[in-house]
């Protein structure tokens, strides 16, 4: 796993095809930032097996293959929709040419197949051609496919100290002009060299939004610079006042709160320290000497360095695990305890982007996926979707006048007080900010004079019956419904991230209404849930 993380950190790939994963169905295999599609050995033993790792920033969809081979395929959208397949053909297994042909016909074009096919042919650099190689040659000819391999070796056979060309990259003709293949010179503790396939049409950019690091904030500096003045809230229209307050808080935050780097999220290697780095460096140097001078003595030195590096890494991982377990004691909170337990169990939340299908047509680009889900949610929540009987009942109910009398002196109509603002602010939780990126932590660290002026703005909004237009915006997060087909846009529920400045005012309004209803015993004693 450590070597796989090295490859991910170095190349930041959109997709990774793995063969010989040696996983059983009960084995967990997850990586931050990637969705794992896998097919284990059919006999349920730790042998063979294939997997695809697809970046969560890339729209993807798993394909169903009806084949006896160890193969898994998915469609991904980078520049265009492409089918990627990971295939493993064991060396001592009889391969039927008809099954190979049927397998190829199941892959939507354009496609690329990456795999350990264990075939030797002079076409891709081998000294001789075996029966598997001839089968692959026939496959390429019959289906008009292209071979991306050059003369770079892909496999090192340790017993014979020989190099081979058994890992192949096969693609549709339309992809040939855009793909370039090269191999990593480091084995990464395998006997296969990683093959790196580059699409020159598309540079895979990981969309990572920077966030404020509140644990490193200089709150004293923030409080002194985030000044909401009387002029802002009194001398401007409400929309202008809200915009000026937003700009002031964000400017203060930019100067006093560090932000995460807008970079690819690197895979963290547990227990990796300076001893591991030094041992691994020596291993790579020993491998480099053997590649230049492939003698028996240098091979022995490389194996020794490799064994020593593994021993150091395992020792470091054991020590790291002991320290981690020792931190689970009676002094930590239950929240921290469960966070550590989930972390140790490999439980984390990670969402991938699914390719959608609307009326049988694939929706692939990020913009189109967002618009498709938004359109579907809009149609679903439209009252025109209700049955006609309910619509008629709704119209009649809305025409009835409410028997409700109120006056400006009622408790729920009076001005908000500074005490109410402070109480509501103390009750808020650490929720995600809205489109303005202003969090509750920022509002809590405002000075009393700034909070007084913010309160004045709330009372202006309340008296003028003028809701700020910018507060009507929200970030909509579509969450797939559990157990439902994620390729269907109907199977998503929305979560709206509204602005914290707006939610704070809503909380004060709600607090006053709930108090009035409960104090006057207007709510039914049987009311529950909502």
Whole-model pTM: value is 0.85
Task: Report the residue count for the chain.
Answer: 530
Averaged confidence pLDDT in the chain? 91
> Measuring CA to CA, how many Å separate 291 from each of 3, 306, 518?
20, 15, 80
> Residue 139, Cβ neighbours under 10 Å: how many?
20
Rounded Cα–Cα distance for residues 165 and 127 (Å)? 10
CB 201 within 8 A of CB 79: yes
Q: How far is CA 118 from the centre of its chain?
A: 34
Residue 202 has a pLDDT of: 63
The pairing of strands 34-39 and 50-55 is antiparallel
Which residues, in sequence order, are bridge partners of residue 156? 163
Q: How many CB atoms lie within 10 A of CB 521?
A: 8
Inter-residue contact 481 to 474 (CB < 8 Å): no
Q: Residue 82 burial by CB count (10 A; 0-12/13-18/19+): exposed, middle or buried?
A: buried
What CA–CA distance (Å, rounded) separates 239 from 469?
7
Q: What is the pLDDT of residue 492?
A: 94
Predicted confidence (pLDDT) per residue in 146-175, tens digit? 999 988 899 999 888 889 999 999 999 999
Q: Write out the two tokens for 444.
A: 């809590």
Do the Cβ atoms of 59 and 28 come closer than 8 Å?
no
The pLDDT value recorded for residue 278 is 95
Q: What is the largest CA-CA distance in the chain?
A: 97
- Determine the pLDDT at residue 521: 85
pLDDT of residue 422: 95
Contacting residues for 166 by C-beta, under 8 A, at least 6 apart: 116, 117, 118, 119, 120, 154, 155
| Of the candidates 176, 112, 113, 125, the residue with the CA atom closest to the CA atom of residue 154 | 125
Average pLDDT over residues 41-56: 86
CB 431 within 8 A of CB 500: yes
Tokens of 306: 């490799």
pLDDT band at 208 (very low <50, low <70, confident <90, very high): low
**The pLDDT value given to residue 351:** 83
Predicted local confidence at residue 485, as pLDDT: 93
The pair of three-digit structure tokens given for residue 232, joined into one six-digit string: 């802002």
Using an 8 Å Cβ cutoff, are 196 and 148 in contact? Answer: no
Question: Tens digits of per-residue pLDDT, 271-301?
Answer: 899 999 999 999 999 999 999 999 999 999 9
- The token duo for 221 is 């500096």
CB of 168 closer than 8 Å to CB of 135: no
Percent with pLDDT over 70 in the chain: 98
- d(CA 341, CA 434) in angstroms, rounded, equals 30
**Cα–Cα–Cα angle for 368, 371, 373, nearest 5°?**
110
- Which pair of tokens denotes residue 149? 């391999």
């Amino acid at each position: 796993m450590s070597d796989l993380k090295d490859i991910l950190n170095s190349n930041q790939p959109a997709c990774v095809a793995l063969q010989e994963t040696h996983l059983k169905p009960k084995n967990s295999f997850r990586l931050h930032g990637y969705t794992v599609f896998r097919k284990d050995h059919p006999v349920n033993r730790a042998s063979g097996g294939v997997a695809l790792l697809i970046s969560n920033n890339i729209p993807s969809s798993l394909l169903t293959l009806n084949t006896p081979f160890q193969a898994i395929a998915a469609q991904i959208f980078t520049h265009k929709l492409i089918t990627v397949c990971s295939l493993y053909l064991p060396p001592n297994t009889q391969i039927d040419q008809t099954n190979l042909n049927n397998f190829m016909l199941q892959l939507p074009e354009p496609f690329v197949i990456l795999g350990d096919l264990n075939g030797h042919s002079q076409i891709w650099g081998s000294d001789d051609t075996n029966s598997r190689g001839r089968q692959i040659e026939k496959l390429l000819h019959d289906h008009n496919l292209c071979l991306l391999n050059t003369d770079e070796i892909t496999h090192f056979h340790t017993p014979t100290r020989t190099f081979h060309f058994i890992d192949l990259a096969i693609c549709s003709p339309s992809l040939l002009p855009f793909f370039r293949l090269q191999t990593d010179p480091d084995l990464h503790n395998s006997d296969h060299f990683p093959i790196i396939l580059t699409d020159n049409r598309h540079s895979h950019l990981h969309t990572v939004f920077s966030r404020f690091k509140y644990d490193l904030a200089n709150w004293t500096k923030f409080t002194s610079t985030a000044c909401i003045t009387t002029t802002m809230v009194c001398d401007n229209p409400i929309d202008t006042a809200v915009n000026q307050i937003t700009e002031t808080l964000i400017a203060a935050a930019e100067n006093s709160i560090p932000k995460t780097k807008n970079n690819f999220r690197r895979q963290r290697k547990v227990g990796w320290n300076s001893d591991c780095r030094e041992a691994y460096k020596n291993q790579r140097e020993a491998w480099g000497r053997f590649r230049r001078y492939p003698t028996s003595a240098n091979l022995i030195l490389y194996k020794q360095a490799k064994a020593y590096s593994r021993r150091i890494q395992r020792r470091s991982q054991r020590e790291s695990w002991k320290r981690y377990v020792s931190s689970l004691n009676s002094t930590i909170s239950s929240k921290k305890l469960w966070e550590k337990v989930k972390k140790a169990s490999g439980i984390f939340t990670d969402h991938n982007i699914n390719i959608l299908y609307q009326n049988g047509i694939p929706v692939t680009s990020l913009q189109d996926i967002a618009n498709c889900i938004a359109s579907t949610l809009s149609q679903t929540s439209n009252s025109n979707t209700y049955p006609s009987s309910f619509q008629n009942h709704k119209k009649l109910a809305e025409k009835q006048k409410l028997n409700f009398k109120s006056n400006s002196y009622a408790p729920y109509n009076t001005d908000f007080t500074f005490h109410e603002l402070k109480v509501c602010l103390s009750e808020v939780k650490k929720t995600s900010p809205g489109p303005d990126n202003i969090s509750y932590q920022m509002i809590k660290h405002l000075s009393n004079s700034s909070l007084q002026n913010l309160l004045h703005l709330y009372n202006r909004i309340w008296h003028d019956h003028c809701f700020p237009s910018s507060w009507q915006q929200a970030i909509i997060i579509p969450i797939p419904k559990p157990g439902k087909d994620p390729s269907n846009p109907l199977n998503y529920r929305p979560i709206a991230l509204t602005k914290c400045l707006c939610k704070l005012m809503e909380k004060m309004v709600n607090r006053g209404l709930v108090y009035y209803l409960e104090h006057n015993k207007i709510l039914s004693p049987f009311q529950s849930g909502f």
